[in-house]
């Protein structure tokens, strides 16, 4: 199986050497090859270059990309795509004036989704989730991190992990699973949070690890959920099983979760709608990448992550959807790239870097995904005819994607 794409107007994110992250000032640069070709064999990017050097290359499938842009597929490093049903009624409650926190305090929110998921058959959950994934592949996402966290019992969390494993086996997309047992305190543990933390650390984590599906651990470190002490207990337990942290921190309040996550060598710290100088200092010199989730800020009408502060401090930044039924019911990375420009004041180059190579870094896969580099996996977007790549974020809420190649296979849209 081979594919040759010719006459590409702009081929984005081209690197001769294998970059795995871009930081600070370097995020302003997006390497572009004009009038280019790209050659793929099986699931791998084999060669690319200027059209004048394309002569003699033959392939089973030839795609003429005149007027179109080709770029690596989006890498969505933060999703909760495995969930049951929806939370439309809470959406209406919020329109009528309730806040996300008030809805959660009434027993809605994550607990509402957990109840629904516990009652949903594994097969049904798999089908709902696969349908969401298929829709997003067509919108240009080629890699998804997927979290558990709507189970909140051993049984239901393991059900989620098995669904994620099946998606990983069946889908052409790259999937990285994360164990988010500490997403909320279940009703049964409302007045005995310590017991739930013990349940997670002594019972749930060992049983989840035995399935050998998730290699990352997440905690919702937030007032009313898990405080710093709780978060540390869970990260510590995870560390014993070599689970690397990817944490929810600073969504509504700064509790010190950033420094704690860095201390436990987190791969990423996500949300950061609230951020202080100490957080920025903690991230400097670490291997932890901050991740902004503009879809969540948009949907909940909360502050946007101060991306400029992070990037201007020389740090890397990734952007992701946070796709979930409560705070961000959209997995559209094209919108996220646009919102990053409009609301986070990132340039198109910074936003595309944040959604490709840095997104891949935030999933621990940037050695094989996130850039057009020989030997990397062929996960590609071919856009509709566009004048310039800046039109991707400029034409917000439009779908710029015409075709995708995922794991080397051309997928009809």
Closest to 114 (Cα-Cα) out of 87, 89, 77: 87
The beta strand positions in 74-116, using DSSP E, are 74-76
Distance CA 331, CA 143 (A): 12
Q: Are 103 and 94 in contact (CB under 8 A)?
A: yes
Q: Does 63 bind ligand NIG (CB under 6 A)?
A: no
Question: What residues from 90 to 109 belong to the interface with ligand NIG (CB under 6 A)?
Answer: 109
Q: Are 291 and 78 in contact (CB under 8 A)?
A: yes
Distance CA 295, CA 92 (A): 18
Q: Does 290 bind ligand NIG (CB under 6 A)?
A: no
Q: Does 222 bind Fe ion (CB under 5 A)?
A: no
Distance CA 257, CA 260 (A): 5
Q: Does 321 bind ligand NIG (CB under 6 A)?
A: no
Instruction: Give min distance, CB of 251 to Fe ion, in A.
Output: 8
| Residue window 361-400: x/- pattern of binding to Fe ion, with contact defined by CB under 5 A | ----------------------------------------
Distance CA 224, CA 237 (A): 21
For residues 186 and 408, which CB has a smaller minimum distance to Fe ion in the complex?
Answer: 186
**Residue 51 gets which letter from DSSP?**
G
How large is the greatest C-alpha to C-alpha distance in the chain, in angstroms? Answer: 71
Length of the chain: 413
Question: What residues from 364 to 393 belong to the interface with ligand NIG (CB under 6 A)?
Answer: none
What is the separation of C-alpha 315 from the centre of its chain, rounded to a whole number of angstroms?
Answer: 18
Interface pick for ligand NIG out of 113, 250, 297, 338 (rule CB under 6 A): 113
Residue nearest to Fe ion (CB): 322
- Which of the choices ligand NIG, Fe ion, none does residue 72 contact, using the CB cut-off of 5 to 8 A by kind? none
Distance CA 380, CA 71 (A): 6
For residues 339 and 372, which CB has a smaller minimum distance to ligand NIG in the complex?
Answer: 339
Q: Does 248 bind ligand NIG (CB under 6 A)?
A: yes
Q: Does 325 bind ligand NIG (CB under 6 A)?
A: yes
Question: What residues from 317 to 346 belong to the interface with Fe ion (CB under 5 A)?
Answer: 322
| Residue window 202-241: x/- pattern of binding to ligand NIG, with contact defined by CB under 6 A | ------------------x---------------------
Q: Choose one: 230-238, 261-269, 279-287, 314-322; the region binding Fe ion (CB under 5 A).
A: 314-322
Distance CA 216, CA 267 (A): 9
Q: Does 110 bind ligand NIG (CB under 6 A)?
A: yes
Hey, how many other C-beta atoms are within 10 angstroms of the C-beta on 222?
A: 20
Q: Does 218 bind Fe ion (CB under 5 A)?
A: no
Instruction: Give min distance, CB of 387 to ligand NIG, in A.
Output: 35
Q: Which helix (H) or strand (E) holds 209?
A: helix 205-210
Q: Known binding site: residues? A: 78, 80, 87, 150, 183, 248, 251, 322, 324, 326-327
Q: Does 327 bind ligand NIG (CB under 6 A)?
A: yes
Q: Known binding site for N-formimidoyl-L-glutamate: residues? A: 150, 324, 326
Instruction: Give min distance, CB of 5 to ligand NIG, in A.
Output: 36
Q: Are 221 and 227 in contact (CB under 8 A)?
A: yes
For residues 36 and 317, which CB has a smaller minimum distance to ligand NIG in the complex?
Answer: 317
Q: Known binding site for Fe(3+): residues? A: 78, 80, 248, 322
The beta strand positions in 78-231, using DSSP E, are 141-147, 174-182, 216-221
Interface pick for ligand NIG out of 151, 256, 294, 326 (rule CB under 6 A): 326
3-class DSSP assignment, residue 337: helix
Q: Are 337 and 317 in contact (CB under 8 A)?
A: no
Distance CA 204, CA 207 (A): 5
Binding-site ranges for ligand NIG (CB under 6 A): 109-110, 113, 220, 248, 251, 296, 322, 324-327
Residues near Fe ion (CB under 5 A): 322
């Amino acid at each position: 199986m081979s594919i040759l794409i010719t006459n590409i107007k702009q081929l984005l994110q081209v690197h001769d050497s294998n970059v795995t992250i871009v930081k600070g000032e370097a995020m302003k640069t997006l390497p572009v090859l004009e009038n280019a070709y790209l050659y793929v064999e099986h699931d791998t990017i084999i060669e690319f270059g200027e059209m004048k050097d394309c002569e003699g290359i033959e392939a089973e499938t030839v795609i003429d990309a005149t007027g179109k842009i080709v770029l690596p597929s989006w890498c969505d490093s933060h999703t909760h795509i495995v969930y049951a049903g929806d939370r439309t009624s809470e959406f209406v409650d919020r329109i009528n004036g309730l806040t996300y926190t008030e809805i959660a305090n009434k027993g809605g929110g994550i607990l509402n989704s957990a109840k629904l998921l516990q009652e949903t058959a594994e097969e049904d959950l798999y089908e709902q989730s696969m349908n969401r994934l298929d829709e997003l592949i067509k919108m240009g996402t080629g890699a998804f991190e997927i979290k558990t966290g709507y189970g909140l019992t051993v049984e239901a969390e393991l059900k989620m992990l098995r669904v994620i494993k099946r998606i990983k086996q069946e889908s052409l997309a790259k999937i990285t699973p994360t164990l988010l047992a500490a997403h909320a305190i279940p009703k049964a543990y409302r007045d005995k949070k310590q017991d739930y933390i013990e349940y997670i650390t002594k019972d749930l984590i060992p049983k989840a690890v035995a399935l050998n599906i998730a290699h990352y651990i997440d905690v919702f470190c937030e007032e009313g959920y898990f405080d710093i002490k709780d978060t540390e207990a869970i990260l510590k337990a995870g560390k014993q099983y070599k689970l690397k942290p990817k944490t929810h921190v600073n969504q509504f309040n700064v509790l010190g979760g950033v420094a704690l996550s860095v201390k436990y060598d987190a791969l990423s710290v996500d949300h950061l709608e609230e951020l202080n100088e100490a957080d920025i200092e903690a991230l400097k010199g670490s291997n932890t990448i901050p991740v902004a989730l503009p879809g969540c800020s948009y949907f909940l009408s909360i502050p946007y992550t101060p991306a400029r502060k992070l990037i201007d401090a020389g740090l890397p930044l990734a952007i992701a959807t946070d796709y979930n039924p409560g705070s961000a019911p959209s997995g559209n990375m094209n919108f996220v790239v646009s919102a990053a420009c409009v609301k986070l004041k990132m340039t198109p180059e910074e936003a595309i870097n944040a959604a490709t190579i840095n997104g891949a870094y935030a999933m621990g896969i940037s050695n094989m995904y996130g850039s057009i580099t020989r030997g990397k996996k062929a996960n590609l977007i071919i856009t509709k005819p566009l004048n310039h790549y800046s039109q991707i974020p400029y034409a917000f809420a439009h779908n710029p994607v015409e075709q995708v190649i995922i794991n080397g296979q051309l997928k009809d849209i």
